[in-house]
Amino acid sequence: MKLYHYFRSSASYRVRIALNLKNLPYDAVAIDLRPGVSAQRSTDYLALNPQGLVPVLVDGERTLTQSLAIIEYLEETHPQPPLLPAEPLARARVRALSLAIACEISPLNNSGVLEYLCGPLGAAEDQVNAWYVHWIGRGFRALEQEVTKTSGDGKHMFGTAVTLADVLLVPQMYNARRFNAELAPYPRLRAIAAHLEALPAFARAAPERYADG
Ligand SMILES: N[C@@H](CCC(=O)N[C@@H](CS)C(=O)NCC(=O)O)C(=O)O
Protein backbone atom coordinates (compact mmCIF):
# COMPACT_ATOMS: atom_id res chain seq x y z
CA MET A 1 0.00 0.00 0.00
CA LYS A 2 1.07 3.57 -0.63
CA LEU A 3 0.09 6.46 1.66
CA TYR A 4 0.19 10.01 0.33
CA HIS A 5 0.50 12.12 3.45
CA TYR A 6 2.08 15.12 5.16
CA PHE A 7 3.93 14.61 8.41
CA ARG A 8 2.01 17.24 10.40
CA SER A 9 -1.39 16.56 8.89
CA SER A 10 -3.63 15.15 11.61
CA ALA A 11 -5.80 13.31 9.07
CA SER A 12 -2.64 11.64 7.71
CA TYR A 13 -1.43 10.86 11.23
CA ARG A 14 -4.71 9.01 11.91
CA VAL A 15 -4.17 6.72 8.94
CA ARG A 16 -0.52 6.08 9.83
CA ILE A 17 -1.65 4.98 13.32
CA ALA A 18 -4.38 2.71 11.92
CA LEU A 19 -1.98 1.08 9.44
CA ASN A 20 0.49 0.45 12.26
CA LEU A 21 -2.17 -0.94 14.58
CA LYS A 22 -3.20 -3.36 11.84
CA ASN A 23 0.47 -4.23 11.21
CA LEU A 24 0.15 -3.24 7.56
CA PRO A 25 3.37 -2.14 5.84
CA TYR A 26 3.12 0.87 3.54
CA ASP A 27 5.25 3.23 1.50
CA ALA A 28 4.88 6.85 2.53
CA VAL A 29 4.83 9.55 -0.16
CA ALA A 30 5.21 13.09 1.20
CA ILE A 31 2.88 15.79 -0.14
CA ASP A 32 4.22 19.13 1.02
CA LEU A 33 1.29 21.27 2.21
CA ARG A 34 3.37 24.31 3.15
CA PRO A 35 2.02 27.55 1.67
CA GLY A 36 4.17 28.37 -1.31
CA VAL A 37 4.62 24.68 -2.12
CA SER A 38 1.02 23.41 -1.88
CA ALA A 39 1.80 20.12 -3.59
CA GLN A 40 -1.77 19.04 -2.83
CA ARG A 41 -2.92 21.44 -5.56
CA SER A 42 -0.55 20.19 -8.26
CA THR A 43 -2.13 18.75 -11.39
CA ASP A 44 -0.71 15.32 -10.69
CA TYR A 45 -2.03 15.21 -7.14
CA LEU A 46 -5.46 16.55 -8.11
CA ALA A 47 -5.68 13.71 -10.62
CA LEU A 48 -5.22 11.34 -7.68
CA ASN A 49 -7.53 13.23 -5.32
CA PRO A 50 -9.66 16.03 -6.80
CA GLN A 51 -10.36 17.18 -3.22
CA GLY A 52 -6.76 18.36 -2.98
CA LEU A 53 -6.40 16.90 0.53
CA VAL A 54 -4.16 14.39 2.24
CA PRO A 55 -4.29 11.55 3.04
CA VAL A 56 -4.80 9.27 0.07
CA LEU A 57 -4.26 5.53 0.37
CA VAL A 58 -3.55 3.48 -2.74
CA ASP A 59 -4.16 -0.23 -2.30
CA GLY A 60 -3.32 -1.99 -5.54
CA GLU A 61 -5.71 -0.59 -8.15
CA ARG A 62 -7.85 1.16 -5.51
CA THR A 63 -7.45 4.80 -4.55
CA LEU A 64 -9.10 5.83 -1.29
CA THR A 65 -9.65 9.31 0.15
CA GLN A 66 -10.94 10.72 3.47
CA SER A 67 -9.18 9.41 6.57
CA LEU A 68 -12.23 7.92 8.28
CA ALA A 69 -13.34 6.12 5.12
CA ILE A 70 -9.78 4.82 4.71
CA ILE A 71 -9.65 3.58 8.31
CA GLU A 72 -13.06 1.89 8.02
CA TYR A 73 -11.84 0.25 4.79
CA LEU A 74 -8.78 -1.05 6.66
CA GLU A 75 -11.04 -2.23 9.49
CA GLU A 76 -13.23 -4.17 7.08
CA THR A 77 -10.41 -5.63 5.00
CA HIS A 78 -8.13 -6.36 7.97
CA PRO A 79 -10.44 -6.86 10.98
CA GLN A 80 -7.69 -7.73 13.49
CA PRO A 81 -7.09 -6.09 15.86
CA PRO A 82 -10.53 -4.43 15.78
CA LEU A 83 -10.81 -0.66 16.06
CA LEU A 84 -14.55 -0.82 16.60
CA PRO A 85 -16.26 -2.92 19.29
CA ALA A 86 -18.60 -5.73 18.21
CA GLU A 87 -21.73 -4.51 19.91
CA PRO A 88 -23.87 -1.92 18.02
CA LEU A 89 -24.31 0.55 20.89
CA ALA A 90 -20.61 0.43 21.74
CA ARG A 91 -19.75 0.98 18.05
CA ALA A 92 -22.06 4.01 17.98
CA ARG A 93 -20.37 5.40 21.10
CA VAL A 94 -16.88 5.00 19.61
CA ARG A 95 -18.00 6.57 16.33
CA ALA A 96 -19.61 9.47 18.22
CA LEU A 97 -16.35 10.20 20.08
CA SER A 98 -14.42 9.95 16.81
CA LEU A 99 -16.79 12.20 14.88
CA ALA A 100 -16.73 14.76 17.71
CA ILE A 101 -13.11 15.26 16.65
CA ALA A 102 -13.30 14.56 12.92
CA CYS A 103 -16.39 16.71 12.28
CA GLU A 104 -16.60 19.26 15.09
CA ILE A 105 -12.95 20.24 15.56
CA SER A 106 -10.69 19.23 12.66
CA PRO A 107 -12.55 20.73 9.67
CA LEU A 108 -12.74 24.13 11.36
CA ASN A 109 -9.06 24.15 12.22
CA ASN A 110 -7.36 22.54 9.24
CA SER A 111 -4.63 24.35 7.37
CA GLY A 112 -6.85 25.29 4.40
CA VAL A 113 -9.40 27.00 6.67
CA LEU A 114 -6.75 28.87 8.68
CA GLU A 115 -5.04 30.03 5.47
CA TYR A 116 -8.36 31.32 4.13
CA LEU A 117 -9.01 33.23 7.36
CA CYS A 118 -5.64 34.96 7.39
CA GLY A 119 -5.41 35.32 3.58
CA PRO A 120 -8.58 36.27 1.65
CA LEU A 121 -10.55 37.21 4.79
CA GLY A 122 -7.70 39.30 6.19
CA ALA A 123 -7.96 38.07 9.78
CA ALA A 124 -5.07 39.11 12.05
CA GLU A 125 -2.83 36.47 13.62
CA ASP A 126 -4.44 36.86 17.06
CA GLN A 127 -7.89 36.45 15.52
CA VAL A 128 -6.85 33.25 13.77
CA ASN A 129 -5.39 31.97 17.04
CA ALA A 130 -8.63 32.86 18.86
CA TRP A 131 -10.60 30.97 16.20
CA TYR A 132 -8.38 27.90 16.61
CA VAL A 133 -8.56 27.94 20.41
CA HIS A 134 -12.33 28.45 20.38
CA TRP A 135 -13.05 25.28 18.37
CA ILE A 136 -10.50 23.19 20.24
CA GLY A 137 -11.99 24.35 23.55
CA ARG A 138 -15.56 23.65 22.54
CA GLY A 139 -14.68 20.16 21.32
CA PHE A 140 -12.30 19.17 24.10
CA ARG A 141 -14.57 20.45 26.90
CA ALA A 142 -17.29 18.12 25.68
CA LEU A 143 -14.93 15.16 25.23
CA GLU A 144 -13.41 15.68 28.69
CA GLN A 145 -16.93 15.11 30.07
CA GLU A 146 -17.79 12.28 27.69
CA VAL A 147 -14.80 10.17 28.69
CA THR A 148 -15.93 10.11 32.33
CA LYS A 149 -18.70 7.84 31.03
CA THR A 150 -16.96 6.04 28.16
CA SER A 151 -13.37 5.35 29.26
CA GLY A 152 -12.99 2.14 31.20
CA ASP A 153 -9.52 2.78 32.59
CA GLY A 154 -8.52 6.40 32.07
CA LYS A 155 -6.14 5.23 29.33
CA HIS A 156 -8.55 4.85 26.42
CA MET A 157 -11.37 6.99 25.09
CA PHE A 158 -13.73 4.02 25.22
CA GLY A 159 -13.49 0.89 27.33
CA THR A 160 -10.11 -0.60 28.03
CA ALA A 161 -8.71 -1.26 24.55
CA VAL A 162 -7.59 0.92 21.63
CA THR A 163 -10.43 2.02 19.36
CA LEU A 164 -11.00 4.41 16.49
CA ALA A 165 -11.64 7.19 19.03
CA ASP A 166 -8.06 6.86 20.30
CA VAL A 167 -6.75 6.99 16.73
CA LEU A 168 -8.54 10.35 16.38
CA LEU A 169 -7.55 11.80 19.76
CA VAL A 170 -3.76 11.57 19.51
CA PRO A 171 -3.36 13.58 16.27
CA GLN A 172 -5.81 16.22 17.53
CA MET A 173 -3.83 16.57 20.76
CA TYR A 174 -0.62 16.89 18.75
CA ASN A 175 -2.25 19.59 16.64
CA ALA A 176 -3.53 21.44 19.74
CA ARG A 177 -0.04 21.44 21.27
CA ARG A 178 1.42 22.73 18.00
CA PHE A 179 -0.95 25.70 18.13
CA ASN A 180 -0.21 26.28 21.84
CA ALA A 181 -3.81 25.63 22.91
CA GLU A 182 -4.31 25.54 26.68
CA LEU A 183 -4.62 21.86 27.62
CA ALA A 184 -4.61 22.14 31.43
CA PRO A 185 -8.43 21.97 31.58
CA TYR A 186 -8.42 18.49 30.01
CA PRO A 187 -6.53 16.20 32.41
CA ARG A 188 -8.43 13.09 31.34
CA LEU A 189 -7.77 13.64 27.65
CA ARG A 190 -4.11 14.39 28.39
CA ALA A 191 -3.74 11.18 30.43
CA ILE A 192 -5.34 9.11 27.68
CA ALA A 193 -3.15 10.69 25.00
CA ALA A 194 0.00 10.21 27.10
CA HIS A 195 -0.74 6.52 27.48
CA LEU A 196 -1.51 6.05 23.78
CA GLU A 197 1.48 8.05 22.49
CA ALA A 198 3.80 5.59 24.22
CA LEU A 199 2.31 2.58 22.42
CA PRO A 200 4.54 1.44 19.52
CA ALA A 201 1.88 1.78 16.80
CA PHE A 202 1.24 5.38 17.84
CA ALA A 203 4.89 6.25 18.44
CA ARG A 204 5.92 4.97 15.00
CA ALA A 205 3.26 7.18 13.38
CA ALA A 206 4.35 10.38 15.15
CA PRO A 207 5.05 13.42 12.95
CA GLU A 208 8.62 13.67 14.31
CA ARG A 209 9.34 10.35 12.62
CA TYR A 210 8.49 11.93 9.28
CA ALA A 211 9.79 15.46 9.80
CA ASP A 212 11.97 15.22 6.71
CA GLY A 213 8.77 14.62 4.74
N1 LIG B 1 -11.88 15.13 6.12
C2 LIG B 1 -10.57 14.94 5.55
C3 LIG B 1 -9.71 16.10 5.95
C4 LIG B 1 -8.40 16.08 5.23
C5 LIG B 1 -7.65 17.39 5.46
O6 LIG B 1 -8.23 18.40 5.88
N7 LIG B 1 -6.37 17.35 5.18
C8 LIG B 1 -5.59 18.54 5.34
C9 LIG B 1 -4.36 18.24 6.18
S10 LIG B 1 -4.84 17.64 7.79
C11 LIG B 1 -5.15 19.02 3.98
O12 LIG B 1 -4.87 18.23 3.09
N13 LIG B 1 -5.10 20.36 3.81
C14 LIG B 1 -4.66 20.95 2.59
C15 LIG B 1 -5.58 22.04 2.12
O16 LIG B 1 -6.61 22.29 2.77
O17 LIG B 1 -5.26 22.63 1.10
C18 LIG B 1 -9.98 13.62 6.04
O19 LIG B 1 -10.33 13.19 7.15
O20 LIG B 1 -9.19 13.00 5.30
| Most informative mutation of 109, 111, 117, 167 for ligand 1 (most atoms within 8 A of CB) | 111
Residue nearest to atom 1 of ligand 1 (CA): 66
Instruction: Please give the average per-residue pLDDT across 85-100, as a whole number.
Output: 98
Instruction: Please give the average per-residue pLDDT across 28-36, as a whole number.
Output: 94
| Most informative mutation of 13, 15, 71, 110 for ligand 1 (most atoms within 8 A of CB) | 110
C-beta 40 within 6 A of ligand 1: yes
C-beta 172 within 6 A of ligand 1: no
C-beta 112 within 6 A of ligand 1: yes
3-state secondary structure of 5: strand
In whole angstroms, what separates CA 6 from the centre of its chain?
A: 12
Q: Per-residue pLDDT for 70 more than 90? A: yes
**Encoded amino acid at 123, one letter:** A
C-beta 157 within 6 A of ligand 1: no
Angle, helices 10-21/164-178, rounded to nearest 10 degrees: 140
Q: Per-residue pLDDT for 90 more than 80? A: yes
Instruction: Output the pLDDT for position 128.
Output: 95
**Which of 9-18, 51-60, 109-118, 159-168 comes out lowest in average pLDDT?**
109-118
C-beta 98 within 6 A of ligand 1: no
**Residues 148-176 pLDDT 10s:** 999 999 999 999 999 999 999 999 999 99
What's the 112 CA to ligand 1 centre distance in angstroms?
A: 8
Q: Per-residue pLDDT for 212 more than 70? A: no
Instruction: Output the pLDDT for position 211.
Output: 72
Cβ-proximal residues to 32 (8 Å cutoff; 6+ apart), any chain:
6, 38, 39, 213
Q: Per-residue pLDDT for 213 more than 60? A: no
Give the global pTM: 0.97
Question: 166-184 burial, b if ≥16 CB within 10 A, otherwise e?
Answer: bbbbbbbbbbbeeeebeee
Q: What is the average pLDDT value for the chain, to the nearest integer?
A: 96
Instruction: Please give the average per-residue pLDDT across 21-42, as a whole number.
Output: 95
**Residues 132-142 pLDDT 10s:** 999 999 999 99
Instruction: Output the pLDDT for position 35.
Output: 86
85 phi-psi bin (left φ>0, alpha ψ -120 to 50, beta other): beta
Residue nearest to atom 15 of ligand 1 (CA): 112
C-beta 67 within 6 A of ligand 1: yes
Residue nearest to atom 6 of ligand 1 (CA): 110
